[in-house]
Amino acid sequence: MEIRLSVLFLVLLGGLAYGLLAQEPTATLEPGTGTSTELMALEDAFAADRGDLDLARRLSAEYLRMGQPGMAIAAVRAAAPELAADPLLSHRLSLAYEASGRLDDALATAHLALTRCERAIGSSRAALTTVPPRFACNPPTLISLEQHTQALVSMVRWGVTDPRTDPRAPVARNLAQRRASIASLAE
């Protein structure tokens, strides 16, 4: 019995070590390179002024581009509370939630961003009971928000648990993009 437990423990320990070693880093920054210097400058500027919408958008977009959704979530949450009403910043938060595998949070945030954008544009679909918009939104952003929301709706409906590995996630994105293309042709 003792030998079985020891073997089981060694197998578990070996599996854990393999899991830690088998993962590729998503993005690396070499000190002194242009990318790391630019990111550090952006982080410093944002830390000095968390109420700057442009900095919050740029920093969250950079973290998403680097494959660091957790850092993008932290950046958006560290922004001044009044910036949370911006549809594009909410969209970036939704993308970060999706990239980290939190689909329910991603869908709720995407719905909120879409409603805020519709309200800012003056869409008849926007709920008239929402607070008047403080941030602007434009039609291309609205289309992007609609596509992302529709893709998330499909992923949640299909039971996707990890959009990074589930082959249904790209299918959901493709279908949402096709629907938007067809809708734009019909108008």
pLDDT in tens, the chain (187 residues): 788 767 666 666 666 556 555 444 445 555 555 567 889 999 999 999 999 999 999 999 999 999 999 999 999 999 999 998 899 999 999 999 999 999 999 999 999 999 889 888 876 565 555 566 678 888 888 999 999 999 999 999 999 988 889 999 999 999 988 876 665 555 5
Query: If you ran DSSP here, which 8-state letter would residue 135 be given?
Result: S
- Specify the pLDDT at position 11: 66
CA–CA distances in Å: residue 75 to residues 51, 64, 138, 182: 12, 11, 24, 35
- Specify the pLDDT at position 179: 74
Question: Exposed/middle/buried for 151, CB within 10 Å: 0-12, 13-18, 19+?
Answer: buried
CA–CA distances in Å: residue 7 to residues 11, 21, 66, 96, 103: 6, 21, 40, 40, 38
- Specify the pLDDT at position 23: 47
Q: What is the pTM of this model?
A: 0.75
Which single residue is written with the structure tokens 């990890």?
Answer: 162
Query: If you ran DSSP here, which 8-state letter would residue 25 be given?
Result: P
